[in-house]
Amino acid sequence: MTDSQSVHDGAAPAGAWAAPGRVNLIGEHTDYNDGFVLPVALPQAARATVRLRTDGLLRLHSAQTDGGPVELSVADLAPGSVEGWAKYPAAVVWTLRAAGHEVGGADVHIDSDVPTGAGLSSSAAIECVVAAAYSDLHGLGLDGPALARLAQRAENEFVGVPCGIMDQMASVCCTEGNALFLDTRGLAQRQVPLDLAGAGLRLLVVDTRVKHDLADGAYAELRAGCERAAALLGLPALRDLAPAGLDAALDRLPVELRPLVRHVVTENARVEQAVALLDAGDLAALGPILTAGHASLRDDYRVSCPETDLAVEAAVAAGALGARMTGGGFGGSVIALVAADTLDTVAAAVTTAFAGAGYATPRTFTAVPAAGAHRIG
Ligand code: GLA
């Protein structure tokens, strides 16, 4: 079949899907330790129009990049063979085939308003939207967790980043108005109502616009450190260490692993506390938990950086109820829980603090809990 036939053949299965980026309220670097997370999907999403092709070609176009489509042969896809943004959709097609699904090529047009490099899961959004589109168009019937696992495998094996499953589960399984309480061991999930407006609150997102280079290597090292600590303690994962046993466990570990373990154990406890507060309708009390989570990421896990530390400090000094970095760290974004009538003051205070420190002007916006991946056309 020629190119123009496959593109314009009205009978070819086609449609449009959306999958969102996310912020994480609390539970950072816990997912690859089989722990708890509490992400919220953003209204910003990757949108993909997909039309299947029968000639084995994957033609990928992004509204965010100049130039024509990236054209790939599905049969030739292999880890490491694709560079740039195109590796994310290509990874999903490769993974589907590696998982035994007989899928071929497609024309894929992606338009995303999830900020890239901001710790808001723009790549997971692309992976999840393509996974959802392929599952529907090929009638694979993959449910939310299956789509998320597939997208995570794409990131791990094709892209080569050893991420956990939080971002992909958030992008697929979040629902409007809720945070997703997820046990990453076994993927038990519960939607927890997050009626910020009803509580007179807002969730401010500050994209610091910095991404430090060490992010990927450092992430893999931190993950390896956690796995080593769990092995030394004789546990399947750090999730299996209860807070009551923390001090005794730390005594048995080499000094350099102790802060990692302390972060993971206290962070899991913070997720459970946060969920209890949301269940009780006490949203404002979440603030100090967020700030404590940031201190743990800064002092124990050491994935914050001067820009995210300053954003947190300036937000809290200007009256935010609490603030913390969100995502993997080394730059990226900060979330701040604020009373609705202080939203502008807090955002302005962070911007002023950044100008004073000579940092680039941060981008600020308000997060409203949105829906996970779904068909839009
Ligand atoms: C990145 C990874 C996630 C998670 C976070 C940290 O976003 O993709 O799996 O580990 O970092 O919580």
Q: What is the pLDDT of residues 95-153, one digit of tens each?
A: 999 999 999 999 999 999 999 999 999 999 999 999 999 999 999 999 999 999 999 99
Query: Would 373 be classed as within a structural domain?
Result: no
Answer with the one of 159, 193, 227 that is the final residue of a domain. Answer: 193
Q: What is the mean pLDDT of the segment spanning 267-296?
A: 98
Indicate if 183 and 311 belong to the same structural domain. no
Query: Would 377 be classed as within a structural domain?
Result: no
Indicate if 208 and 347 belong to the same structural domain. yes
Answer with the one of 175, 193, 211 that is the final residue of a domain. Answer: 193
Instruction: Count structural domains, the chain.
Output: 2
Q: Which of 167, 207, 213, 341 is catalytic?
A: 167
Indicate if 158 and 304 belong to the same structural domain. no
Query: Would 255 be classed as within a structural domain?
Result: yes
Residues with C-beta less than 6 Å from any ligand 1 atom: 28-29, 31-32, 163-164, 166-167, 327-328
pLDDT band at 5 (very low <50, low <70, confident <90, very high): very low
Domain assignment of residue 75, given as a range: 3-193
Query: What is the CATH classification number for the domain harbouring 224?
Result: 3.30.70.890
Residue-by-residue DSSP string for 82-139:
--GGGHHHHHHHHHHHHTT-----EEEEEEE-SPTTSSS-HHHHHHHHHHHHHHHHTT
Query: Would 292 be classed as within a structural domain?
Result: yes
Indicate if 13 and 142 belong to the same structural domain. yes
CA distance 292 to 109: 41
Indicate if 355 and 207 belong to the same structural domain. yes
Query: What is the CATH classification number for the domain harbouring 174?
Result: 3.30.230.10
| Annotated catalytic residue 195 | no
pLDDT band at 9 (very low <50, low <70, confident <90, very high): low
**Mean of the per-residue pLDDT values for the chain?**
96
Write the residue with the smallest CA distance to atom 9 of ligand 1.
Answer: 164
Indicate if 251 and 202 belong to the same structural domain. yes
Indicate if 31 and 163 belong to the same structural domain. yes
Indicate if 240 and 109 belong to the same structural domain. no
Indicate if 74 and 94 belong to the same structural domain. yes
Query: Would 231 be classed as within a structural domain?
Result: yes
Pocket test for ligand 1, best of 24, 29, 263, 268 (most atoms within 8 A of CB): 29
Answer with the one of 147, 175, 193 that is the final residue of a domain. Answer: 193
Give me ligand 1 centre to Cα 75, in Å: 30
Query: Would 66 be classed as within a structural domain?
Result: yes
Residue-by-residue DSSP string for 291-359:
HHHHHHIIIII----HHHHHHHHHHHHTT-SEEEEESS-SEEEEEEEEEGGGHHHHHHHHHHHHHHHTP
